Amino acid sequence: MHLLITGSSGFIGRHLCSALLEQGHRLRRIDRRHGWNLRQLQAPQDWHRLLHGIDAVINAAGIIVETVDNRFDELHHKAPVALFEACRQLEIPRIVQISALGADADASSAYHLSKKAADDHLRKLGLNTWILRPSLVVGRGSRSQEWFRRLAGLPILCLPGGGRQCIQPIAIQDLVDTVGRCLTLPPASGTLDLVGPQSMLLRDWILRLRQHLGKSPTTVIDLPYPLATALSRLLHPVLPLLHPDNIRMLRRGNCADQQPLEAFLGHPLRPVEPAL
């Protein structure tokens, strides 16, 4: 197949491209490294020439932190909606949208709301589409995993809510396999939550990372949410990941039922331990 993939130079995009090339697909990569800026692809007609000869589209573009040049609404909502509309106009038969776990009716953060807006628009188009909502994705090159590693290496862990939030990391290979299956199934549409085989507390995940780093056990301090939010407002200009929205997303947790994904793939989900 000839595939168009956005966000192809990101963590998920790189793993997808590597696997898809091995499977014999041809790729048209849309990202800044390949000369394309999604901020300049905000209308359906901007995508028409890029979709010439394309059999299917994978939208893997995404950011976790906004900057002056990267805004949630432009990258997660407006550019994907323009792409989806162009696919409808040109009758592209298949779309895979990489969304996020939490982009649902209870979404409240700008990150989740921007993802949800694109998902909702895509569902209304009546196309052959799969919307994939991954939890924390673990694998080589993950920036979030690297951030958690750095956190795990601190002498004392000071975590919002004591780190008692539910997370359910998924191995990058299971995400890649899911996208591959979405491309080969008969025409169908659906939404899948992409989570790993084991839910756990955030504190346990970080302590597990700490163990892999060869660090000795340490104390976990419970940072009350109001204080964590106040500190995030103060510090996020210097440490962008510490945004108040991210504290709210963290408090909500990031878990779901893994059985639908296992049934979709037809095999048990991979443990994330080897990826550490």
pLDDT at 241: 67
Asked if 19 contacts 13 with a C-beta cutoff of 8 angstroms, the reply is: no
CATH of the domain at 67: 3.40.50.720
Q: What is the share, in percent, of the chain residues with pLDDT greater than 70?
A: 97
Domain count, the chain: 1
pLDDT at 276: 67
Instruction: Say yes or no to pLDDT of 243 above 70.
Output: yes
Q: What is the share, in percent, of the chain residues with pLDDT greater than 90?
A: 71
Q: What is the pTM of this model?
A: 0.92
Q: What pLDDT digit, counting tens, does each position of 186-220 carry?
A: 888 999 999 999 999 999 999 999 998 999 889 99
Decide if 209 is inside a domain: no
Average pLDDT, the chain: 92
Decide if 81 is inside a domain: yes
Q: Which range has the worst mean pLDDT, 107-121, 179-193, 238-252?
A: 238-252
**Residue 227: both structure tokens together:** 């204080």
Decide if 90 is inside a domain: yes
pLDDT band at 250 (very low <50, low <70, confident <90, very high): confident
Instruction: Say yes or no to pLDDT of 148 above 70.
Output: yes
> How large is the average pLDDT for residues 104-112?
91
Sign of torsion over alpha carbons 173, 174, 175, 181: positive
Decide if 30 is inside a domain: yes
Residue type, 176: V
Decide if 242 is inside a domain: no
Decide if 233 is inside a domain: no
Structural domain of 67: 2-137+171-194+256-275
**Residue 65: both structure tokens together:** 């932190």
Burial (0-12, 13-18, 19+ Cβ within 10 Å), 100: buried
Q: Is the model more confident about 81 or about 159?
A: 81
Asked if 9 contacts 29 with a C-beta cutoff of 8 angstroms, the reply is: yes
Q: CA–CA distance from 45 to each of 18, 91, 95, 123, 266 (Å)?
A: 29, 14, 18, 20, 39
Instruction: Say yes or no to pLDDT of 229 above 90.
Output: no
> How large is the average pLDDT for residues 144-149?
85
Instruction: Say yes or no to pLDDT of 33 above 80.
Output: yes
Decide if 146 is inside a domain: no
